[in-house]
């Protein structure tokens, strides 16, 4: 178990904007920062981070919290793992505990698969460095590729012994379950007789990491000339490894990608490693598969710019062109760069200095239109039909771009390069867009119905607002933001004078904000109606009674996910209103001119007014239309409540006009 002191150090030093910035490209937006949601696919940013409050809120998925909860949500860390990750990031020493048999037994399935994968990474790495076979075969191979010791360590490269079950025996001996060895694909179990085999027998190993550095799977390269065996072998799909959602090198590249605002995309493991060793770290690989939307979304969290790199292989070029359209469709900017005949990113980086490599990339990275033209014109070979197909292919790519200004610029460029009129290109583009709209029309119409203006030009009926919910939410917001602040309030109450008449008395009293709210609600024996708000209210009042300071990120770390989501939603109300333009829908927002004392008083009085109004309405429902029934008690109660409501209304008026 991690000590309380260590956890406190982590919370003291961890900055939510720095932690999330490793996974999401954030841009300044007033006092906050915003970016694209890392949980859902979106083109308009609705993910907000508050450096001041040290919290985040994703308005698309509803998730929210602090730095620790982000890691738990995004990387599926347990709480201790998130703390350890942050401790490592900020150089805080944590006493590591050995994974015991009991720990392994208690870990859930997904976590067990992570543990097995991390054990395998360490086993393969140590086997390569510390055994004769590993050094003679695995280490020698990597050295022949020109990889240095630092590079081997950085990518945690390794070697799996050329033995049928060396790894499996070692893992079972360390109490890792065969069930999870099989589920991760590290061990193959024959169904007929239950015999076990190492999947990666006799291969050099490339661990595949998540963006946070967790081991998801492996790629293994065979070093013999066995034609029956695949040259590269990847881990099979599993609960933790989905090939189409992973990019090799993203963990090592993420900071450089965000800093340089560009990502180079290559095909293989060694391309990534060789580029890194040459000094260019903002590079990832699709690991030999066709690029997917999920992989593009990983990069789009860090930058809006991607440069696709490839060699002169025709099949590779065709696959890259298909990927270009997907990148454009995701709203990203894309360039392409090919290497000289006989060269690929790996060999070119190995044979050139950093300066030469950087210069080549800068000078030869072309706009996708120019690249497509150069590539496909060669294929057309002055054939009019093929040229027409080429032009249509280019316009198809342009149609994937959602930005109309960019589309027009590319149409003009295509017209110039291909020597064809803009009008023809615009007509072709219009046909393509019309087809796209037609294909999506049914879904669009269904989604639009909820917002469609009726044809007789009648105004949309304003949506029904739960006023009580809004006031209870406001009470929680005040407690969270200003609960420990001290203010002087003017309390107004009535007493009998010497003649028995009621007179108003004003008295100035100083309270902490949470005390004032607590006393006001206790006075009327009011309990918040919303169960989540009620839990937060009771919890935070208890917290304030026991603590002299309040730090929102530490407080959130102790709450349930449901309460965390609600708290971050409340604290990000202003950002949510801006994103959703609720002010245009006539939903009441806070009066920024009110002082804190006025704001608290106005909220409490308005809430009490609302509840009394409801009590009057409920009471009047009990009136009987039968003249023989005595309604005097009901009428008397309503009269008393109405008198109280009028007093509150009078006091509320005083609060709002006092400046």
Confidence at residue 583, expressed as pLDDT on a 0 to 100 scale? 42
Across the strands, what pairs with 284? 265
484/514 Cα distance (integer angstroms):
7
Confidence at residue 361, expressed as pLDDT on a 0 to 100 scale? 95
CB atoms within 10 A of CB 537: 21
Confidence at residue 357, expressed as pLDDT on a 0 to 100 scale? 95
Contacts of residue 335, defined as CB under 8 A and 6 or more positions apart, other chains included, come to: 305, 306, 307, 308, 365, 366, 367, 368, 371
The single residue listed with the structure tokens 């009901």 is 634
Contacts of residue 531, defined as CB under 8 A and 6 or more positions apart, other chains included, come to: none
Confidence at residue 571, expressed as pLDDT on a 0 to 100 scale? 82
* Strand order, beta sheet including 64-65: 27-29, 32-35, 47-50, 55-58, 64-65
Q: Determine the length of the chain.
A: 659
Angle between helices 269-278 and 250-260 (to 10 degrees): 50
Measured in whole angstroms, the distance separating CA 155 from the mean position of its chain's CA atoms is 25
Helix, strand counts (H, E) of the chain = 29, 18
- Using only C-alpha atoms, what is the Rg of the chain? 33
597/638 Cα distance (integer angstroms):
31
Confidence at residue 125, expressed as pLDDT on a 0 to 100 scale? 97
Q: Is 59:576 a contact under the CB 8 Å cutoff?
A: yes
272/145 Cα distance (integer angstroms):
13
Confidence at residue 623, expressed as pLDDT on a 0 to 100 scale? 82
* Alpha carbon separation from 547 to 49, 504, 541, 571 (Å, rounded): 26, 36, 10, 21
Confidence at residue 410, expressed as pLDDT on a 0 to 100 scale? 86
Token pair for residue 221? Answer: 């390269």
The DSSP secondary-structure symbol of 325 reads H
Confidence at residue 582, expressed as pLDDT on a 0 to 100 scale? 42
Confidence at residue 392, expressed as pLDDT on a 0 to 100 scale? 86
Confidence at residue 101, expressed as pLDDT on a 0 to 100 scale? 63
Confidence at residue 457, expressed as pLDDT on a 0 to 100 scale? 44
Confidence at residue 319, expressed as pLDDT on a 0 to 100 scale? 57
User: What's the burial of 205, exposed, middle or buried (CB within 10 Å: 0-12/13-18/19+)?
Assistant: buried
487/481 Cα distance (integer angstroms):
14
50/64 Cα distance (integer angstroms):
11
CB atoms within 10 A of CB 573: 16
pTM here is: 0.65
56/493 Cα distance (integer angstroms):
43
Q: Is 152:136 a contact under the CB 8 Å cutoff?
A: no
Stretches in the chain below the pLDDT threshold 50: 440-460, 463, 580-591, 658-659
């Amino acid at each position: 178990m991690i000590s309380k002191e260590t956890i406190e150090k982590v919370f003291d030093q961890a900055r939510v904007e720095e932690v999330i910035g490793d996974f999401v490209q954030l841009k300044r937006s007033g006092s906050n920062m915003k970016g694209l949601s890392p949980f859902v696919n979106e083109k308009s940013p609705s993910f907000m981070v508050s450096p001041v409050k040290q919290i985040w809120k994703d308005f698309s998925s509803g998730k929210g919290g602090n730095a620790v909860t982000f890691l738990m949500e995004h990387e599926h860390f347990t709480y201790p793992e998130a703390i350890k990750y942050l401790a490592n990031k900020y150089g805080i020493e944590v006493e590591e505990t050995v994974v015991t048999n009991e720990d392994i037994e208690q870990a859930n399935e997904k976590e067990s698969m992570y543990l097995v994968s991390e054990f395998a990474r360490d086993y393969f790495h140590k086997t390569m460095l510390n055994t004769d076979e590993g050094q003679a075969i695995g280490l020698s191979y990597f050295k022949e590729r020109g990889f240095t010791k630092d590079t081997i360590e950085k990518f945690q490269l390794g070697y799996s012994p050329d033995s049928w079950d060396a790894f499996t025996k070692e893992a079972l001996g360390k109490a890792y379950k065969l069930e999870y060895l099989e589920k991760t694909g590290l061990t193959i179990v024959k169904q007929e007789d239950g015999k076990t085999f190492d999947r990666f027998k006799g291969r050099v190993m490339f661990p595949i990491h998540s963006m946070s550095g967790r081991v998801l799977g492996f790629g293994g390269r065979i070093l013999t000339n066995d034609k029956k065996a695949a040259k590269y072998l990847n881990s099979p799909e599993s609960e933790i490894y989905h090939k189409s959602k992973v990019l090799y090198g993203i963990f090592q590249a993420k900071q450089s990608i965000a800093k340089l605002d560009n990502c180079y995309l290559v095909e293989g493991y060694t391309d990534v490693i060789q580029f890194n060793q040459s000094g260019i770290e903002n590079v990832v690989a699709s690991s030999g598969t066709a690029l997917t939307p999920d992989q593009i979304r990983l990069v789009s969290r860090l930058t809006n710019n991607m440069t696709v790199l490839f060699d002169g292989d025709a099949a590779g070029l065709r696959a890259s062109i298909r990927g270009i359209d997907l990148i454009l469709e995701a709203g990203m900017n894309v360039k392409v760069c090919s290497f000289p005949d006989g060269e690929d990113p790996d060999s070119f980086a190995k044979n050139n200095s950093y300066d030469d490599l950087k210069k080549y990339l800068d000078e030869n990275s072309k706009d996708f239109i120019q690249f497509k033209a150069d590539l496909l014109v060669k294929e057309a070979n002055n054939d009019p039909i093929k040229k027409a197909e080429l032009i249509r292919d280019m316009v198809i790519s342009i149609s994937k771009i959602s930005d109309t200004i960019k589309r027009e610029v590319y149409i003009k460029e295509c017209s110039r390069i291909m020597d064809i009129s803009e009008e023809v290109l615009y007509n072709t583009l219009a046909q393509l867009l019309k087809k796209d709209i037609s294909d999506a029309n049914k879904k669009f119409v269904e989604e639009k119905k909820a917002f469609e203006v009726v044809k007789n030009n009648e105004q949309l009926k304003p949506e029904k607002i739960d006023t009580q919910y809004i006031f209870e939410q406001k009470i929680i917001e005040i407690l969270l933001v200003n609960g420990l602040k001290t203010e002087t309030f003017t309390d107004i109450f009535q007493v009998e004078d010497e003649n028995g008449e009621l007179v108003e008395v004003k008295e100035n009293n100083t309270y902490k904000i949470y005390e004032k709210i607590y006393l006001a609600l206790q006075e009327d024996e009011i309990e918040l109606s919303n169960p989540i708000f009620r839990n937060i209210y009771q919890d935070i009042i208890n917290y304030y009674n026991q603590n002299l300071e309040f730090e929102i990120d530490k407080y959130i770390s102790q709450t349930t996910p449901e309460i965390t989501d609600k708290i971050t939603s409340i604290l990000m109300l202003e950002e949510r209103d801006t994103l959703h333009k609720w002010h245009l829908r006539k939903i009441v927002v806070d009066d920024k001119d009110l002082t804190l004392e006025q704001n608290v008083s106005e909220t409490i009085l308005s809430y009490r007014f609302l509840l009394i109004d409801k009590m009057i309405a409920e009471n009047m429902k009990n009136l009987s239309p039968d003249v023989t029934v005595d309604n005097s008690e009901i009428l008397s109660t309503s009269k008393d409540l109405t008198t109280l409501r009028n007093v509150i209304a009078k006091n509320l008026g005083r609060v709002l006009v006092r400046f």
